[in-house]
Amino acid sequence: MTKSPRLLVSACVALAGCASVLFSAEPPQICAGQPALGQPEWVRTATIYEVNVRQYSPAGNFAAVTADLPRLRDLGVNVLWLMPIHPIGEHNRKGPLGSYYAVRDYYGVNTEFGTKEDFKRLVDSAHAAGLRVILDWVGNHTAWDNPLTQQNPDYFVRDAKGSFVPPTGFDWTDVIQLDFSNPAVLDYQAGAMAYWIENFGVDGYRCDFATGVPTAFWNQLTARLRAIRPDLFMLAESELPQHQLAAFNASYGFDMMHTFNAVAQGHVGVSGIDDTLARSRVRLPAGGALLYYTSNHDENSWQGTEFERLGGGATPLAVLSFALDGIPLIYNGQEIGVNRRLEFFERDPIQWTTAHPLTAFYRTLCQLKHAHPAMRTGTPMRRLATTQNDSLYVLVREAGSHRVVVMLNLTARDVTADCHDAALAGSWRDAFTGENLVLPAGSTLALRAWSYRVLASQP
């Protein structure tokens, strides 16, 4: 989901007479019981912050992001994910500025954003501030006018007439399909990705439309990259469980994002969250991780803001995206309540404000994720039963004696319910209000419509 609303074809697709298959939907494997690759230690306490450089500021460049690093550090995010930074194709371009995901040169930077020196300054400054930087990698396709089409036309799928073709099943007319049956494509991509690691110090990659690239390709590619940088973080825009066996440290939680929408819109009950988690437990290898979010560039531009899709559930479900055992994501502007769909193919800068209640809200969540042992990716999580399970979602995260209890009312009505669980007993501090309180194992919970409480254990 990268350039415009895509028309997903779930069956295997090939063009008659094609030089090779364009896109075959690789079936998911049930990987429960197998060990996942796991995550680098620095990721386990991290919140990822997605930067849409074009829309991040009126300047729309690397320098503006660099200047804003103190604010981002104060917000408490740990990892900056930059949407693709490369030059954008002009042939068959969409809109006046084109899509980031139509890459014309994997070794270059988009002059719209600045120079390579500007980018290096951004990465170095982020590292000095204690932040990591990952790049968006477009491995499935390139722009029509990428020089590779002239230098190495055998890198691409072609039809019976020898013409390049866009990925099948989508409206991505501004890009053409790479041919993964050619081993030279693997060599090229490995070299290009290594270039940004070795020369600019990037800490990992978010891999666009990873589902469209064979798992075997990713396995070989990432093995080469980790020989250079063992603690590299690789995030797949994919739900294929097998991606986390050897190639990726985490994958997208598409299923949960759709569940968030369905719960908030009343299409499924609150316990639909449990159903989604159960599917993940069956599919994912042990130690796998998912990215949880209420917005990103695709959702915001094409499906609507979190306020359009989630209504009153926008804040409690944001809390849940941090509370679930996974990796949370913030899309730029969420921390000031940006309530509009950002344009994708033209300039539409965020209008930043210095005072917004959601800034403190996200700062609290980031700090809790980073500092509390029970919130680390990989710590156990379970739901606590209440007498209003159709309305309340209560969970506990535990790491030894450290606990965090999260209480959410995911309905538009006030709810009072009883809960009895040993995990409730003890001394607590409300992460948002600072209130100290003591709870027994059997407690009555009263939450107003769409409200939440996050309680952190006290020694």
Per-residue pLDDT of the chain (459 residues; tens, 9 = 90+): 445 544 343 333 333 334 444 456 799 999 999 999 999 999 999 999 999 999 999 999 999 999 999 999 999 999 999 999 999 999 999 999 999 999 999 999 999 999 999 999 999 999 999 999 999 999 999 999 999 999 999 999 999 999 999 998 899 999 999 999 999 999 999 999 999 999 999 999 999 999 999 999 999 999 999 999 999 999 999 999 999 999 999 999 999 999 999 999 999 999 999 999 999 999 999 999 999 999 999 999 999 999 999 999 999 999 999 999 999 999 999 999 999 999 999 999 999 988 899 999 999 999 999 999 999 999 999 999 999 999 999 999 999 999 999 999 999 999 999 999 999 999 999 999 999 999 999 999 999 999 999 999 987
Helix (H) or strand (E) holding 290: strand 290-292
Q: CB–CB of 188/181 below 8 Å?
A: no
Residues 158, 208 within the same domain: yes
Residues 221, 87 within the same domain: yes
Q: What CATH code is carried by the domain that includes residue 432?
A: 2.60.40.1180
Residue 25: per-residue pLDDT = 76
Residue 158: per-residue pLDDT = 96
Q: CB–CB of 225/232 below 8 Å?
A: yes
Decide if 171 is inside a domain.
Answer: yes
What b-and-e string marks burial along 124-140, b requiring 16 or more CB atoms within 10 Å of the CB? ebbeeeebbbbbbbbbb
**Residue 307: CA atoms inside 13 Å, Cβ hemisphere, count?**
10
* Domain's final residue, options 379, 409, 425: 379
**String of DSSP letters for 358-401:** HHHHHHHHHHHHHH-GGGSTTS-EEEEPBTTTTTEEEEEEEETT
Residues 417, 324 within the same domain: no
Residues 298, 167 within the same domain: yes
Q: How far is CA 77 from CA 35, 167, 307, 319, 441, in A?
A: 28, 35, 22, 15, 34
Residue 458: per-residue pLDDT = 86
Decide if 5 is inside a domain.
Answer: no
Residue 10: per-residue pLDDT = 34
Helix (H) or strand (E) holding 205: strand 204-208
Please state at what angle helix 357-371 crosses helix 314-323, rounded to 10 degrees. Answer: 10
The single-letter DSSP state of residue 153 is G
In 3D, which of 102, 111, 92 has the Cα closest to residue 54? Answer: 111
Residues 261, 187 within the same domain: yes
Residue 1: per-residue pLDDT = 45
Residues 394, 305 within the same domain: no
Residues 368, 393 within the same domain: no
Q: Which residues pair with 419 in a beta bridge?
A: 386, 443
Residues 369, 420 within the same domain: no
Helix (H) or strand (E) holding 250: strand 250-252
Decide if 335 is inside a domain.
Answer: yes
Helix (H) or strand (E) holding 452: strand 452-457
Q: What CATH code is carried by the domain that includes residue 232?
A: 3.20.20.80
Please state at what angle helix 314-323 crosses helix 254-264, rounded to 10 degrees. Answer: 150
Domain span including residue 386: 382-457
Residues 426, 364 within the same domain: no
* Domain's final residue, options 355, 379, 403: 379
Looking at the 3D structure of the chain, how many domains does it have? 2
Decide if 344 is inside a domain.
Answer: yes
Residues 332, 397 within the same domain: no
Decide if 313 is inside a domain.
Answer: yes
Residue 23: per-residue pLDDT = 52
* pTM of the shown model: 0.95
Decide if 393 is inside a domain.
Answer: yes
The single-letter DSSP state of residue 211 is G
Residue 12: per-residue pLDDT = 34
Residues 369, 452 within the same domain: no
Q: How many residues does the chain have?
A: 459
First to last CA, the chain: 45
* Domain's final residue, options 351, 379, 407: 379
**String of DSSP letters for 169-192:** TS--TTEEEB-TTSHHHHHHHHHH
- The helix/strand/coil state of 433 is coil
Q: How far is CA 103 from CA 8, 50, 297, in A?
A: 21, 19, 17
Decide if 15 is inside a domain.
Answer: no
Decide if 356 is inside a domain.
Answer: yes
Residues 368, 392 within the same domain: no
Residue 9: per-residue pLDDT = 35
